[in-house]
Amino acid sequence: MRKCKLVTGYTLQHYLVAELGRRIVTGAVEAGEVLVIDQVGRDYRVSQTVVRDAFRGLGARGLIRPRHRVGTTVLPQTSRNLLDPELIFWRNGGPKAGMRLRNLAALREGVEPLAAVCAAVHAGNATTSRLTELHADTVRAEGIARLLVREAREEFFLSETSRTDGA
């Protein structure tokens, strides 16, 4: 039996949405499984009202669907908005987090340059000027970062050299 633990600023409904959502997207609760309001309420020691409200939140994200005389059914992954930030956050706590983050990074590498080009083509003069300034700032920051990394490597090398020389 689980007990809902409240974090400041969260309601029992928020906690239950996050907990059940995380369990669904990581596969701990599989597609096709039926969630019964009474049982979930007992498992998490919350009222049926809290469970119903949480189910509405999960339903809005495409994770579950109520079925008359059956209960609330967990939907397959194909019904979910896989780009929903909360689902991404919940998925990254699961057993395949590293693989998912690499896949997400690959997706971003493919999409973001095209989105940036599209945004730049349609940007006004003020936006273009600001982007040019930000790009220059980024180039300067990257140069400073490279110098700092080089200095850190040199310091490390010197400290390792002096330690082995003194040994």
User: Does residue 131 form part of some domain?
Assistant: yes
Alpha helices by DSSP H, listed for 26-70, are 37-44, 48-60
CA atoms of 60 and 111, how far apart (whole Å): 26
Asked if 73 and 20 sit in the same domain, the reply is: yes
Asked if 128 and 71 sit in the same domain, the reply is: no
Q: How confident is the model at residue 113 (pLDDT cuts 50, 70, 90)?
A: confident
Instruction: List the structure tokens of 167.
Output: 């040994």
User: Does residue 113 form part of some domain?
Assistant: no
User: Does residue 6 form part of some domain?
Assistant: no
User: Does residue 117 form part of some domain?
Assistant: no
Dump pLDDT digits (tens) for 58-107. 999 999 999 888 889 999 989 888 788 888 888 877 667 778 778 888 88
- In this prediction the pTM is 0.57
Looking at the structure of the chain, the number of domains it has is 2
User: Does residue 106 form part of some domain?
Assistant: no
The residue range of the domain holding 38 is 12-79
User: Does residue 22 form part of some domain?
Assistant: yes
